[in-house]
Chain A
């Protein structure tokens, strides 16, 4: 049976949301930084638990705080991928407020917290960053090398298909 789910990619600007989106959908990575204007919607069909899951992915323009993102973009979302940059503390300093805000507007939505750009830091640095976060980081990824990108989206898909 085919199932469709809306998944939002959100987080501060420049954390690599569009790169994760492109890596997962097109298997591409672009070194250039092109800021997202508004939102871009695309689709990827994956096989999850004997179902064809249409993942409707909304790549939203980055904002320093989640309450700055137009609320209507979040409405009806089944899952949220919150991305922060492991190399820039300003992208995870407000993580607790952002996650509480998201859980408040989407009480039934699945939220995954992702630390991106792991190719730019050492394992010790990653360990230090995630152990000091006030929330649990679900996965660390590198859109550049592709490490854990597929796993991130597939685990989201599995969590959404009951």
Chain B
């Protein structure tokens, strides 16, 4: 009796569950169909993904910038050789092309110069070259505008104190007084080092930078420092040296131990007159 009654209750509950959950079952069924169908699922998910992708695109540098930079740096450091292998041929080509162009231009200039100078001037040079031992290459280079030595600045500096006695400058190279002091300190340091050797007093004569050189000529109480640009051939150097010696012979005020502003002004004027 009891069992029959229980069966009835179960049946009635099942009917009730079917009635109550009918709607939900249909919904679950539909969702299952969407999940199972690739097209249906794509139709619904694609707009969400598109929005997300657009947002990442817009905010990529802010969100991932640091991580990407760190990763790129790491990769670059680890792949130095690889990068060099990849870009070297390209750089080599560019450098070769540039040098080729420059050599071409130089060749044209030399041709023009040779044409101009196969004349009396050329024969005059050949005779001088035989007498004074000037090389053809030196002479040709000195004839080309791009290689001609140019005095950019010239200074007269007291030998021990490094105080400026006069200057003439065409470039903007900062304070000439400080230049004089530092150059004297560098000169003194080098000379002190070599003084310890057995070869007697040594003088610093030239400081060589890429495009500029500082030529120095020492006298008893002072020295000249000329900032030069271009090719300094042996003959150009000798010419400048002679000119400086002549200047020193003519200007007795250079020996002033306590130069006044008038002395400096006078010497600077004379430098301009002779070396501009």
Contacts and interface: CB of A to CB of B under 8 A. Distances in A.
A binds B: yes
B230 interface: no
A54 interface: yes
Contact of A38 (B181, B185, B191): B185
Interface string A44-81: 00000000101010100000000000111101111000
A38 B191 CA distance: 14
A30 interface: no
A42 B258 CA distance: 19
Interface residues of A, number: 23
Interface in B95-134: none
Contact of B192 (A54, A71, A76): A71
A6 B178 contact: no
A52 B260 CA distance: 11
A5 B259 CA distance: 10
Contacts of A6: 161-163, 181
B185 A39 contact: yes
Contact of A70 (B182, B192, B258, B264): B192
B226 interface: no
A76 B163 contact: yes
Interface of B: 158-164, 175, 177-178, 181-182, 185, 188-189, 191-192, 258-262, 264
6 tightest A-B CB contacts, nearest first? A76-B161, A76-B160, A41-B181, A72-B188, A2-B261, A75-B160
Interface of A: 1-6, 38-39, 41-43, 52, 54, 56, 58, 70-73, 75-78
